[in-house]
Amino acid sequence: MIAGCFIVRYDNPLTATLIVAAIAIFLIALTHPKAGFYLLIISTGYVDLVKRLGILAGNLTYGDVVVTLAIPPILCACICVGVVFQHVFQHRHLERWQYVILAVVFLLMISALLKDVSGGAGLLEGLRDFANSCAYFPLILIAGILFPKPEYVKQFIKFCLVIYIPVALYGIWQQIFGLNGFEIDYLHTGYTIVVSQLDDIRPRPFSTLNSPHALTVMMAVLALLAFFIHLKGSKRAAWQIPAGILFILGCWASLSRAGWVLLGLGVIGWIFFRRALTTIGFYGLVTAFLVMLIVNAACRPEWILFFGGRSALADAPTRPCPARS
């Protein structure tokens, strides 16, 4: 009854419903972190679609967008807290290699936080950038704790592949038939980093995710997992090859180049990782490539444009909002 009254009285009923559902999800993550991890995969895959659907439910404000996008980072934090609670109450201790990963993750987060806060954009802007880019760093350690055995990892990968099949299908649909009306209306609000797509004759598909770049990267990663990970013992399941082809089509639908580069690197890595010597050589080549990019700092903007294109976020504050038809 209390939840119903809250939903009815809230300006945007969809946002209110999402808040109520999020509270329940957070409680699940605190008490059952592994289930929360699975829910995190669902939320990260579809939260941007729910955000855009909010424009159909009433007066969509920037606060509604912030509330919706805050759910995955908060859910991630709840998962981490839930794992800590489990270790405390069950008197379990981290292993030595887990302490090493924890130290690396901590240093990465501290350095990223200092960089974001001292970037000149202000404390709140820096904290927001930190939440968007670094909130999921602890999952590097948490995933190893929640999925300690290979069979658990394979079950999780299978879940990810199945959950993201509709994402690929919707991206292909958008490529063939174009964006839906509510998605165009959401672009007009200016509450998105891909607002520059309004300048294109036909906006690029982003499916249920936040941008075409995110779509192509996710499709490439999932295609590699579908093709190269044996989910049925020492063999691939019968549905993995069709699923991999579907994800490649989703990568094509995004019209972004980063996914194809990632697919190429994945195939090369799969070939090199078969032997210890070639594995070392592969990591050496990747390290040399990254060092080259850092040393040749003058050409980094061109590389950024090649892999994903410039972000429209910087243009959003000054962009006029076109009138809706």
Which pLDDT score is estimated for 268? 84
pLDDT tens-digit map of 249-290: 999 998 888 889 889 888 888 888 878 888 888 788 878 877
pLDDT tens-digit map of 49-70: 998 988 887 778 888 888 888 8
CB 216 within 8 A of CB 254: yes
In the three-class reduction of DSSP (H, G, I as helix; E, B as strand; rest coil), residue 235 is classed as strand
For residue 316, pLDDT beyond 50: no
For the chain, the structural domain boundaries read 1-92, 95-148, 149-325
The runs of H, that is alpha helices, within 118-234 are: 123-134, 139-146, 150-177, 181-189, 212-228
Q: How many angstroms separate the CA atoms of 266 and 288, rounded?
A: 17
Q: How many angstroms separate the CA atoms of 119 and 125, rounded?
A: 9
Segment 181-204 shows an average pLDDT of 78
- Residue of 164, 178, 171 whose CA lies nearest to 250: 171
CB 241 within 8 A of CB 227: yes
Phi/psi of residue 178, each to 5°? 90, 175
Q: What is the CB-side half-sphere exposure of residue 150 using CA atoms within 13 A?
A: 6
Segment 178-191 shows an average pLDDT of 84
CB 195 within 8 A of CB 316: yes
pLDDT tens-digit map of 122-181: 666 666 677 666 778 888 889 988 998 889 999 999 999 999 999 999 999 999 988 888
| Pair of tokens at residue 157 | 């990968």
For residue 191, pLDDT beyond 90: no
- 3-state percent helix, strand, coil for the chain, nearest multiple of 5: 75, 0, 25
Q: How many angstroms separate the CA atoms of 57 and 46, rounded?
A: 17
- Residue of 168, 210, 181 whose CA lies nearest to 51: 210
Question: pTM for this one?
Answer: 0.80
